[in-house]
Amino acid sequence: MVDKVAVARALRELGMLLEVQGENPFKVRAYENGARALEELPGGLDEVIAAGTLTEIPGIGKALAAKIEELARTGRLELLDRTRAALPAGIGEMLRIPDLGPKKIAALHAALGIGSVPDLEQACREGRVREVKGFGEKTERKILEGIERLRTASARVRLPEAREVGERLVRRLRESGAAEQVELAGSARRWKDTVGDLDLVAGSREPARLSAVLCAAPGVESVVAHGETKTTVRMAGGLSVDLRVVPPEDYPSLLLHMTGSKEHNVRLRALAREAGFTLSEYGLERLADGRKVPVHAEADVYRALGLQPVPPELRQDTGEVEAAREGKLPAELVTLGDLKGMVHVHTRWSDGRASVEEMARAAQEMGMEYLAITDHSRSASYAGGLDESRLRAQWDEIALVQTKVRIRLLRGTEADILESGALDWSDAVLEQLDVVVASVHSRMKMDTEAMTGRILRMLELPVFKIWGHPTGRLLLEREPYGLDMEKVMDAAATSRVALEVNGDPHRLDLEPRHLRMARERGIPVVLATDAHSVAGLSNLPYAVMTARRGWVERDEVLNALPAAKFTARVRPGAG
């Protein structure tokens, strides 16, 4: 099976390297667009190649299709190899420094001969970068910060990328028939927002054969360690994968151990000792006689320790062990099936890539009862934000599409929260909308006091709003805004607001600890995709799992309400 993420990555790298070489911007953009189109391809790449329909994908022309086929067939791209060879070897790593694009890298290379991250770091420290035209002290400082962040973040990948690789390997190992049980464990099973490495666990009587299957799997670049019970490989994208294998009867204990978190395990072990057992990856044993307690599933271990079974995504040692002991784990954790509406999506009217009708049909296919179209407001001009006349024209289109689909369409907006804390629409417009998402997209670097004031003023507005991607973080790329969360949450509790759990894999915002703060205060939430394409709608599970990690229950989720109740609850003009 062809790894479309790896193919996309190769195209993107080629585009950026060509840009460093000064290649024409159109060509450069074509690679980026092609990479994006592949990432958003709903199915597998093999089918498309087999059917010869690559060029029917928007953004993929003949030349690009040939390169994709070459990558799929050979795992390499001749032009990429040649371009890499023509540039200093460290340029690829320099491209990963946040905020340092190909143009700046080309300028630094031309002026100072810098061709690697260590060269660059040294030049910054010696104050040489600020002397280059177009650079200054501030850029120099930002580059150093970027290098620092690259160091701390480079080891981790975002959850969906990790899960995609992990699930593919799990399928492969299962299909080999060399194992009775195989599962993804570790942070990926806990749906943590970023993943350090993948942990696969298996119960098998043929560990050597299973290990060989992993080593030969597509996408495996090198074998780091290779033993009977433990194998470690490195994937093409740099992600490391551990496989642990035990006999089938010991599998549940291994799964529990390898799922973690480490902190959760430490707590379980302490409880086990108190109860007269020892707990390890090899099983649960009675201290008195060293006899193994038979364990058929993870739940058996929890029960033996007097605990309710804890779902993997809750295993963070943030109170779940105490709750499980008292039988007080949240009973109605929200599930994907609970959701009845999509409440934050974009269309071609602003920066989305699908029409209102396409989004409506896709959401309907997913079983949704309602869909709020929430394109950007005017201030988000970089994202094609709508002015009032275009917004009204969009209402006409929404009305037209409504005559063709069953799903109920709602008029919405994603209004910018302006620097003053006001929303980017007049009250007259706000009153005519069904759903208002309010988000910060500009002036994100205000200091904590100013940003907190801005948000507090937004919260005070009488109109009901969904506060979109509240902390503004971009995973592995951008820190959250400075915000006094306690203050903001206290204000939200008495405001007409719901907090969004944004399932965009780059955001996963709010995060669990903040959701816990919201729940303590009775603040409702919505689970949203912020989709900019039909494919983006399928990120809903990431919003759901992030919410579950924050213990969110069904009755706290506004878009688990049926359409009539939802609109009554969030309609800006209403009571």
| Of residues 307, 303, 309, 314, the one with CA closest to residue 261 | 314
Minimum distance, C-beta of residue 200 to ligand DGT, in the bound complex (Å): 11
Interface stretch with ligand DGT, choices 88-96, 116-124, 186-194, 225-233 (CB under 6 A): 186-194
- Out of 197, 369, 414, 434, the only residue in the binding site for Zn ion (CB under 5 A) is 414
* Residue 189 beta carbon to Ca ion: minimum distance, rounded to whole angstroms: 9
Among 34, 160, 186, 412, binds Ca ion (CB under 5 A): 186
Instruction: Report the DSSP beta bridge partners of residue 241.
Output: 198, 233
Q: Whole-number minimum distance, CB 545 to Ca ion, in Å?
A: 17
**Among ligand DGT, Zn ion, Ca ion, none, partner that 530 touches (CB below 5 to 8 angstroms by kind):** Zn ion
Distances (CA, A) of 361 to 317, 343, 367, 369, 408: 41, 15, 10, 11, 11
Q: Which of 119-127, 261-269, 367-375, 389-397 is the region at the interface with ligand DGT (rule: CB under 6 A)?
A: 261-269
Could you say which of Zn ion, ligand DGT, Ca ion, none residue 534 binds, taking C-beta under 5 to 8 angstroms by partner kind? none
Contact present, 378 and 340 (Cβ < 8 Å):
no
Select from Ca ion, ligand DGT, Zn ion, none the partner in contact with residue 262, using the beta carbon and a kind-dependent cut-off of 5 to 8 Å. ligand DGT
Shorter beta-carbon distance to ligand DGT: residue 260 or 412: 260
In the window 509-548, what residues touch Zn ion (CB under 5 A)? 530
Please, which residue, 346 or 548, has the CB nearer to Zn ion? 346
- In the complex, least distance from residue 156 CB atom to ligand DGT, rounded to whole angstroms: 7
Should residue 242 be labelled a site residue for Ca ion when binding is judged by CB under 5 A?
yes
Does residue 548 contact residue 515 with C-beta atoms inside 8 Å?
no
Phi and psi, residue 358, nearest 5°: -60, -45
Interaction of residue 424 with Zn ion, rule CB under 5 A: no
The reply to whether 549 sits near ligand DGT by the rule CB under 6 A is no
Q: 343 with 559: CB under 8 angstroms? A: yes
Contact status: 187 vs ligand DGT (CB under 6 A): yes
What 8-state DSSP symbol labels residue 298? H
Specify the residue, 176 or 187, whose C-beta has the smaller distance to ligand DGT: 187
Query: What is the C-alpha to C-alpha distance for residues 208 and 220, in angstroms, rounded to an integer?
Result: 17
Query: Which of Ca ion, Zn ion, ligand DGT, none is residue 257 near (CB under 5 to 8 Å by kind)?
Result: ligand DGT
Tell me 159's DSSP state.
Answer: H
DSSP run (H or E) holding 223 = strand 220-226
How many C-beta atoms lie closer than 10 Å to residue 133's C-beta? 6
Find all residues with CB under 8 Å of 363, minimum gap 6, and list them.
342, 345, 371, 407, 537
Interface region with ligand DGT, contact rule CB under 6 A, candidates 25-33, 185-193, 323-331, 470-478: 185-193
Rounded distance between C-alpha atoms, residue 357 and residue 375, angstroms: 14
Q: Which is nearer to Zn ion, 318 or 546 (CB)?
A: 546
Site track 141-180 with ligand DGT (rule: CB under 6 A), x = hit: ----------------------------------------
Structure token pair of residue 286: 């009675």
183 contacts ligand DGT (rule: CB under 6 A): no
Q: From Ca ion, ligand DGT, Zn ion, none, which one binds at residue 414 (CB under 5 to 8 Å depending on kind)?
A: Zn ion
DSSP labels, 401-458: HHTT-SSEEEEEEEEEB-TTS-BSS-HHHHTT-SEEEEE--S-TT--HHHHHHHHHHH
Closest residue by beta carbon to ligand DGT: 260
How many CA atoms lie within 13 Å of 514's alpha carbon, on the beta-carbon side? 24
Shortest Å, Cβ 192 to Ca ion: 9
Residue 535 to residues 41, 302, 345, Cα–Cα distance (Å):
7, 38, 11
**CB-wise, 121 or 197, nearer to ligand DGT?**
197
Kindly identify the residues of this chain, within the stretch 190-219, that bind ligand DGT according to CB under 6 A. Answer: 192, 195-197, 199
Structural contact between residues 318 and 504, judged by C-beta atoms closer than 8 angstroms? no
In angstroms, the first-to-last Cα distance of the chain is: 55
Q: Which of Zn ion, Ca ion, ligand DGT, none lies near 465, with the C-beta cut-off 5 to 8 A by kind?
A: none
Cα Rg, the chain, nearest whole Å: 26
> What's 4's DSSP letter?
H
Q: Which of 66, 216, 224, 266 binds ligand DGT (CB under 6 A)?
A: 266
Measured from the CB of residue 191, what is the shortest distance to Ca ion in angstroms?
13
Rounded to the nearest 5°, which phi and psi values hold at 167? -65, -35
Residues that bind ligand DGT (CB under 6 A): 186-187, 192, 195-197, 199, 257-258, 260-262, 265-266
The residues binding Zn ion (CB under 5 A) are 414, 530
